[in-house]
Structure 1
Amino acid sequence: MKNLKPILSELKYTLKVIRIAFVCFFGIGMFFIFSSNLSDILGSVLRVNSAYTGGEIADDFIDDSAELMRYTVYKPVTNAHWQASADYWQLNLEYRNASEEKRKASIYIDIDSIDGGSTKALFNPETQINFSDHPWNYALYISDGTSKLYDSEGNFICNTEYYELNDRREIKNRIPLKDENLMRVLGSKETWHYIISDDADYSGESISALEVSMTSQKNSKVSKKEADEFVNRIKKEFAESIGKTKNTDSIEKRLAYYKEKLNENPDDYVSMACYGSALAEKGGESSVFKAVALVNEAYTYLDKAAELSFNKEGELDVLLNRASVSAAVPQGVFGKAECGAKDFMRSASLAEDKKLKAYCYVMAYECYMKCAKKTDAFIALQEAKKMVQ
C-alpha cells in the first residue's frame, strides 16, 4: 500500500487542478467578457502622443534580480511646446521596492557625438570606477528628491524635471535640452550609461556600461503580438492538459452546496473561496448594478478565505479562485488586476505542475498589463517562458 501513496497524491493534485481550472475557463459571465473587451478596444483606438509619456523608447534594461530592476532610455523629444521643456531627454529608473527615503544615484553618460570626456567619478572621487572604455560627457546626480546635471568638468548645467511615482519605486528624469553641447544627443547614434548607487563600494573593480542605440526603434506591435501568441498558446495547452470538462451544475446549485458547507464549518476557507467565485459568476449573468453588488459581496468571501488559508493546505485553491475572478472582472470598475497578478504569482510559487506554473505566470502577465505595471508584467512573462524551455 505504501507504493500507492505517490499515485494517490498525484491523483488528488490533478483533481484539485481540474477543479480550480473550471473557474479559470468557465466561471465568468458574458457581462465581464464584453466589458473587458470594450476596454481593450478603446485602448487600441485611442492614441497618446509619445511626447506626453517621455518619447519613444530607445532601449530598456531589466534585471529581475536587482533592486534597480529597470532602466529605460527614451529618444529625445523636440518641439513639445505644451510641456515644461519643449525639448527634453527622459531617463527612467524603476526599483523593486518602495522606499521611505529619497533615492540616491549617479548616472554617467557618454554621448558618441561629443568628443572628450572624463574617466573620474565626479560625486565621490574616492570611488574607484573604470570609465576608460567610455569616458563620460554628462553626469546626472539624483539626491534628496531632485536631480542635477553636470558636465565632465564638474560644471553645473541645470536641474532636471524630476518625478517620483508609485511610493518612490519609479523615478522619471526629464533633462531639458538647453545646453548647446548636450543638444548634440539629437544626432547621436549611440550613448553609454553607467548607473552608480550612491552607497556602492566598487573596490577598484570595473563595471560595464549599458550601450543604447539611439537610432533603432523597437517595434512594440511585433513584441506585443509575439507576447499575445505565447500567452494564448500557454493557456490553450493548459486547458488541453486538464481537459475541458465543464461543470454542469447550475450556479444556484453550487451556491447552495458551498453555503451548506460553510454552515457546517464557517472557517472552511476553500468552500468560502468557491462560494465567492460562484457569487462573482452569478454577477456575470446579472444586470450591471446587481453584478457590481454581487462581485463586491464575492470579495468579502474571497479576501477572508485568502487571509485564513495563508501558508496552509488549500491555499492554492483559494488563491486561484480569487485570482481568476480578479482577472475577469473589469479593471475600470473593480480595480482588481493587481490583486489577481499577485495571487497568480504566489500560486505559481505554490504549484508543482509546470503547466500550471506557466499558466499562472501568463495570467499574472495579463493582470499586470491591465494595471499598467509593465515591468512586473515582463518579469512574469519571462518566468512563464522558463517553464516551457
Structure 2
Amino acid sequence: MKASLGKIIFISISFFAFIFCTLGIVSSFIFGESLQQMLNSILHLRIYEPYVGGKIVSSIFDPMYDDTGSGTLVYPSHTTFAEGNLDLVLYTVHEPVFNAAWQDFNEYWQLDFEFRTGFKNADEPNYNKSIYVYIHLDGKIGGETKTLFEQAENISFSQDHPWHYALSIAGKEAAIFNSNREKIDLAEVVYSSDGKKIIVRIPLRKKELHCLYTVETMHHYVLVGAYSALDFGNILPIEKRKSRTSGGGLVSRFAPKVYDVLYEKDQSQMLSSWNEDDFELSILYPVKINMKNVQSRTPLISQAKIKEIKDEKKLLEALLYKQQSERIQNLKNASLDSELNERALLFLHTGNKKEAENQFKMLLEKDPNNPSYLAYIGSLESMKGENAAVIAAVDAVNKGYAYLDKAIQLTDGVLEKLKNGEASEAELLHRLNALLNRGGNSQAVPNSVFLKAAQGVQDYLEAAEIAHISGLQILEAQCYWDAAICLLLDDKKSEAGIWKREAARIFQQISESDLENYSLEERQEFLSLYLHLFEEGLAE
C-alpha cells in the first residue's frame, strides 16, 4: 500500500504546495492584518516577563511518539488515558523570580511541561500524570543516585550527576525535597485549559532553596509516569498486560516504570540498560541547563547553500512541469474516471485552474459524494477570492469551505479505522485529500478574518498521524511543518516550535537510499521542506 499511496498523495501534495503560494486571498484582506499591526505598534504592547514566570533560560524539545518507555510499554486501559497523554514534547526552565508582589509567594521558580495531547475531555479533566524532576547543581557536593521513593520509577541516576533536589508532581499536587528525602515545601501546579501544558511554581521562601538564585549551571532528569494515588511514589505499576490499574508491556521486573524521559535522542537504549544478572537498574543521564540566560547564537545560515537548494528545486520544477504537460497530452482522450481525475490534478499543478475546475465538476456530477472531488472544488472556489473585492473574496472562501467541510464530514472516522487495520486505501486517500485541502485553505486565508488557523492545525496533525502510521515520512514531516505555520498564525509560538522541531526530526530520518528511489514529485516536496528547515537552522 505504501508505494501506490505515496505516489497518489504526492500528486496531491504538489497541489497543496501550489495553494500555499496563492497569496491573492491574503492580499484581499490586507487591511484587516494591517489594522492589527497598527494597533500593536500604537499600544507598544510588551509582556513583563515576571508575570509569565520569568525569563526563559532553556527550552528542551523531546522527540514525539516515544512514550513507550524502553520501547515496549503501553498505556493503562483506563478511559482517562488518551493516546499521547504521557508524551513529553517540551520542557521549559525559567529564571527564578523575586519581588513578585502579585503572587501568594513573591519568590518562585517556574518550570513548564508540554505534552503531545491533553485532557481526553476538557469538561471533565483527569490529572493522570506523575512527573519527577531530579536536579543536580553543578559544583555542589553530595547528592543521591537512587529515586526519591523506593520502588517508584525503578531507575537509577548517573554517578556523575547525583541529584540534590527532587520535584514530585502527582496529579494536581507537587512538592520539592532535598537529597535526604525531606520535604522542603509544596509547589503550585496549574494545568492549561486543554491539559497539554503544566506549569509548576516552586516557592523560594525557604533558605535551603536560595542557592537556585546564584547557580550558573545544573543538570535535570525529567521522568513521566502514569499517576496512581495508591501506589509507590504515585506511579502506576506496569504488568505484562495492561489493565485499568496498570500499564502493559513489562518485559523484566528491572524495567523502568516510566513512559517518557527528557532526552533529545532515542531514549529506548538508555531505558533498557538494566542488568538482571547483576541486579542493576537502568541508568538515566540528565540534560544540562544554563541558568544565566546565555542567548544561543543565531546559527549562521549559508546563503550559498540556500541558492543551491533553490536552483535544484527550480530545475526539478521545470522537469516536473514538462513531464506533467506531456502527461496531460497523453490523457487528451481519457474516458476513465481515474484518468480524468489525474488529468484534473495535472491541470491544477500546471496552473490551469479553469480546466481543473471543469474536470472536477464533471467528475462530481457523476459522483456527488466523492470527498476528494469535493475537497478540490472547495479549494478552487476559495482561490476565486484572489484579487477580488473584499466581499467577493469572503463569499468565495465561505463557499469553498462548504465543500471542504462536507469532504471532512464524509470521511470522519477513517483514522480510527486505520488504527484498527480496517481502512481501505481509497478511504485513506479521501481523508488525506479532505484534510490537506482544508488545512491548506486554513493556512492561506487571513486568520484575523476567518479564524481558521486552529482548524488548520488539527487537520494537519491528523494528516500527519495518518502519514506516520502509513510510513510516509515526507508527508508526515511536511504536515508537522504546516501545523507549525498555522500555530504561528494563531500566535502560538511555543507550540509552533515543537512541531517545527518534530518536522526536522522526521526529515532527518530520511536516508540517501530513500532519496534515490524518489519520483520527481517526491524530490520536489523533499527540497521544498529542506529549504524551509535549512533557512531556520533546523537542517544541515
TM-score range, shorter chain: 0.7 to 0.9
1:112-157 per-residue CA deviation (whole Å, 9 max, x = no partner) reads 3655434443233664523643332222111131211222333332
Structure 1, 119-128 or 39-48: larger mean CA deviation: 39-48
Instruction: Please say if residues 238 and 359 of structure 1, whose CA atoms lie closer than 8 Å, have aligned partners that are also in contact.
Output: no
Instruction: Please say if residues 155 and 284 of structure 2, whose CA atoms lie closer than 8 Å, have aligned partners that are also in contact.
Output: no
Instruction: Please say if residues 282 and 291 of structure 1, whose CA atoms lie closer than 8 Å, have aligned partners that are also in contact.
Output: yes
Residue matched to 1:31: 28
The Cα RMSD (Å) is: 4.3
Superposition pairs for residues 181-196 of structure 1, below 5 Å? 181-196=208-223
Residue matched to 1:204: 281
Structure 1, 364-373 or 29-38: larger mean CA deviation: 29-38
The residue type paired with residue 80 of structure 1 is A
The residue type paired with residue 327 of structure 1 is Q
> What displacement does 1:163 show?
0.8
Q: Hey, what's the Cα distance between the residues in 1 that align with 2:305 and 2:205? A: 44
Are 1:302 and 2:418 matched, yes or no? no
Q: Hey, what's the Cα distance between the residues in 2 that align with 1:303 and 1:233? A: 40
SS state at 1:349 partner: helix
Instruction: Please say if residues 480 and 503 of structure 2, whose CA atoms lie closer than 8 Å, have aligned partners that are also in contact.
Output: yes
**2:317 equivalent among 242, 246, 267:** 242
Q: Hey, what's the Cα distance between the residues in 2 that align with 1:119 and 1:10? A: 48
Instruction: Please say if residues 95 and 293 of structure 2, whose CA atoms lie closer than 8 Å, have aligned partners that are also in contact.
Output: no
Superposition pairs for residues 265-280 of structure 1, below 5 Å? 265-280=367-382
Residue matched to 1:152: 179
Corresponding residue pairs, total: 378
- Gap change, CA 1:236 and 1:71, over 3 Å in 2: farther
SS state at 1:185 partner: helix
Are 1:363 and 2:359 matched, yes or no? no
SS state at 2:198 partner: strand
Structure 1-normalised TM-score? 0.77
Are 1:93 and 2:113 matched, yes or no? yes
Instruction: Indicate the percent of aligned positions where both proteins have the same amino acid.
Output: 28
Instruction: Please say if residues 92 and 113 of structure 2, whose CA atoms lie closer than 8 Å, have aligned partners that are also in contact.
Output: yes
SS state at 1:26 partner: coil
**2:467 equivalent among 335, 345, 349:** 349
Residue matched to 1:4: none
- Gap change, CA 1:40 and 1:132, over 3 Å in 2: farther
1:258-288 per-residue CA deviation (whole Å, 9 max, x = no partner) reads 5554343211222211221133223455555
The residue type paired with residue 136 of structure 1 is W
Instruction: Please say if residues 261 and 271 of structure 1, whose CA atoms lie closer than 8 Å, have aligned partners that are also in contact.
Output: yes
Residue matched to 1:5: none
Residue matched to 1:3: none
Q: Hey, what's the Cα distance between the residues in 2 that align with 1:125 and 1:11? A: 51
> What displacement does 1:90 show?
1.0
1:18-48 per-residue CA deviation (whole Å, 9 max, x = no partner) reads 5444323237422256655766787797432
> What displacement does 1:208 show?
1.0
SS state at 1:104 partner: strand
Residue matched to 2:147: 121
Q: Hey, what's the Cα distance between the residues in 2 that align with 1:94 and 1:135? A: 25
Instruction: Please say if residues 190 and 200 of structure 2, whose CA atoms lie closer than 8 Å, have aligned partners that are also in contact.
Output: yes
Instruction: Please say if residues 189 and 215 of structure 1, whose CA atoms lie closer than 8 Å, have aligned partners that are also in contact.
Output: yes
Q: Hey, what's the Cα distance between the residues in 1 that align with 2:187 and 2:307? A: 42
Superposition pairs for residues 1-389 of structure 1, below 5 Å? 16-26=12-22, 28-29=24-25, 30-32=27-29, 35=32, 46-64=45-63, 65-66=66-67, 67-99=87-119, 100-112=126-138, 114-124=140-150, 127=154, 129-130=156-157, 132-196=159-223, 197=225, 198-199=235-236, 200-201=256-257, 204-219=281-296, 222=298, 241-243=316-318, 247=351, 249=353, 258-259=360-361, 261-283=363-385, 285-286=387-388, 288=390, 291-292=393-394, 294-308=396-410, 310=414, 311-344=427-460, 346=463, 349=467, 359-371=478-490, 372=492, 373-374=495-496, 375-384=498-507, 388=530
Q: Hey, what's the Cα distance between the residues in 1 that align with 2:281 and 2:313? A: 50
- Gap change, CA 1:384 and 1:332, over 3 Å in 2: farther
The answer for unaligned runs of 5 or more in structure 1 is: 1-7
> What displacement does 1:302 show?
0.9
Structure 2-normalised TM-score? 0.58
SS state at 2:499 partner: helix
SS state at 1:159 partner: strand
Instruction: Please say if residues 55 and 293 of structure 2, whose CA atoms lie closer than 8 Å, have aligned partners that are also in contact.
Output: no
The residue type paired with residue 487 of structure 2 is Y
Instruction: Please say if residues 372 and 433 of structure 2, whose CA atoms lie closer than 8 Å, have aligned partners that are also in contact.
Output: yes
Residue matched to 2:420: none
